[in-house]
Each structure stands twice: as structure tokens, then as C-alpha cells.
């Protein structure tokens, strides 16, 4: 029987914003979600540490039988994806695939008609990498891109501070400069940020487009699998999900169920370092 396992890797809970849509748009697979909550936030780590942590995560997910892993973390996609694809895979798993989340978003925004000024928010590592600017300008060199590092958001989200007034105050401080630069669309360059999308949209106003990146990434994966029949390994109608975290199971379950809008049943604590 074909193996229908797809891995999803994030530094914490953020990748659940992608998994939420994968269940709908790409059903019939067994998803293995790995959150390295013990070592987040990745956005403050060095490129070498991010790459090393990512290799450990890939080792775990491929050992579990995944044929494809989605790096549902913008920081890893920005800082380590190219090395994972060009160095790690050929040496360790030459017949398997690793995909990131930045290119689908960059492509979607760059091709939008009438959009010539785009904002991007993300972790320090993601913004410092310049990956979004590079990918967007490859497709549409005329687009003006404004970026803003928003490092406090991931810890606030991971600790369940979504509705705290402090979080809303910090959001306003981060977003006001971008709004003042009259951007037409905002890329949420971190998979954690969709959990604040309603507040972000309210602050930015109705005229600024703030799409949910999780839906864009899920649709992109569906298209990718349709184009690559060797990876389209759907074997059943039922969607299974297994969860793994490197930190506290109860906290992952408590906050994760809010983000996923469903129960988290099959969860284990693991060590990958």
C-alpha cells in the first residue's frame, strides 16, 4: 500500500493555521504535525541553529514514514529551506520532498492585479533574510515592498494572549507605520499571525487586503500534488492527524485546540535534539 503520510513542521503552534485548511483542501492523507515548542521562537535564533533544528525535525518526520514535509514556518522557509532542499535531502533522503510556505504567498501577492505596494510582517529572521522581497520581485519587479519585524507576536500567541489588551496595543504599534505607507495588501509572514487576523484586519482597515496565508498554502499544495502524481499518495477518504511536540503536551493541546477549532487527541511529547 502506498504511504500517504505528509509531515508538517513548525517552531510551535503556527503551522496549525496551515493544517486547518489542509484538512479541507487536501483530505485523505495522514498528517504528522511536529511543533518544536521547546525551542521557539526560531525568529531570534542564528541561521545555523535554525538549520540544525530543522534537520533534526526532518530526520524525525522522515523516520516516521513521511514522503513529503511542509515547512509551515516562515523563519525556516526563509533561513534554511534552500539548504534543506540542496544539501540535506540529496545526502539523506534523495527521493523525498520538502516544501516551504514563502513562495506560494509571494507568487499569489505578486500576481494580484492592481496591487503595487505590499507590506510584509514577520519574525526578525524572516524579515532580515529579504526572502519575500526577492521572491516577489522575481515575479513582479515593479512592486514596492514595505517590511516590518514583529518579534513579540509569536510568544504572545503561543502563550494564549490573543485577547489581551497588551497584544492589541503591540499590534497597533507594529502595524501603524505600514498603514501610514499606504500599502494595498499585507502578507502575514508567519504562520502564527492568522490567529490574530481579525485584529490585524480591523487595524489596517477594509481597504487593505489581508488574506489568510494558511488557505493560500493549502491550495498551493493541492495544486502541487495534482501536478506531481508520484507524490499524490492519497489512499483513503479519511484524514488522520498525529501531533508531536517537544514541550508541554497540555499547553499544546489547550492552545492548539483553539487554533485548530477541533479536538487534539493523538499527541505525544518527543525529543529531537
Catalytic machinery residues: 73, 190
Q: Cβ distance 41 to 155 under 8 Å?
A: yes
Q: Which residues contact 113 (CB under 8 A, 6 or more apart)?
A: none
Burial of 31 (0-12, 13-18, 19+ CB in 10 A): buried
Q: How many Å apart are CA 70 and CA 101, to the nearest integer?
A: 8
Q: How many Å apart are CA 212 and CA 218, to the nearest integer?
A: 11
Q: How many Å apart are CA 29 and CA 234, to the nearest integer?
A: 6
Q: Which helix (H) or strand (E) holds 110?
A: helix 102-110
Amino acid at each position: 500500500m502506498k504511504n500517504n503520510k505528509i509531515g508538517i513542521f513548525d517552531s510551535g503552534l503556527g503551522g496549525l493555521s496551515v493544517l486547518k485548511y489542509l484538512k479541507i483542501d487536501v483530505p485523505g492523507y495522514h498528517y504528522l504535525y511536529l511543533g518544536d515548542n521547546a525551542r521557539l521562537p526560531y525568529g531570534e535564533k542564528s541561521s545555523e541553529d535554525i538549520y540544525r533544528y530543522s534537520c533534526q525535525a526532518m530526520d524525525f518526520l522522515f523516520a516516521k514514514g513521511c514522503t513529503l514535509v511542509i515547512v509551515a514556518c516562515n523563519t525556516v522557509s526563509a533561513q534554511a529551506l534552500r539548504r534543506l532542499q540542496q544539501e540535506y535531502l540529496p545526502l539523506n533522503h534523495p527521493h523525498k520532498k520538502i516544501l516551504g510556505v514563502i513562495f506560494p504567498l509571494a507568487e499569489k501577492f505578486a500576481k494580484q492585479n492592481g496591487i503595487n505596494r505590499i507590506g510584509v510582517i514577520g519574525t526578525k529572521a524572516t524579515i532580515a533574510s529579504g526572502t519575500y522581497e526577492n521572491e516577489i520581485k522575481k515575479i513582479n519587479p515593479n512592486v514596492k515592498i514595505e517590511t516590518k519585524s514583529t518579534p513579540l507576536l509569536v510568544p504572545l500567541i503561543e502563550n494564549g494572549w490573543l485577547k489581551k489588551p497588551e497584544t492589541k496595543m503591540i499590534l497597533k504599534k507594529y502595524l501603524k507605520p505600514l498603514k501610514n505607507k499606504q500599502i494595498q495588501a499585507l502578507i502575514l509572514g508567519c504562520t502564527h499571525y492568522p490567529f490574530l487576523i481579525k485584529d490585524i484586519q480591523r487595524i489596517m482597515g477594509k481597504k487593505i487586503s489581508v488574506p489568510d496565508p494558511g488557505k493560500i498554502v493549502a491550495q498551493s499544495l493541492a495544486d502541487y500534488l495534482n501536478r506531481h502524481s508520484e507524490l499524490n499518495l492519497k489512499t483513503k477518504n479519511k484524514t488522520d492527524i498525529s501531533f508531536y511536540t517537544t514541550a508541554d503536551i497540555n499547553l499544546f493541546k489547550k492552545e492548539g485546540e483553539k487554533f485548530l477549532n477541533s479536538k487534539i487527541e493523538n499527541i505525544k511529547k518527543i525529543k529531537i535534539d
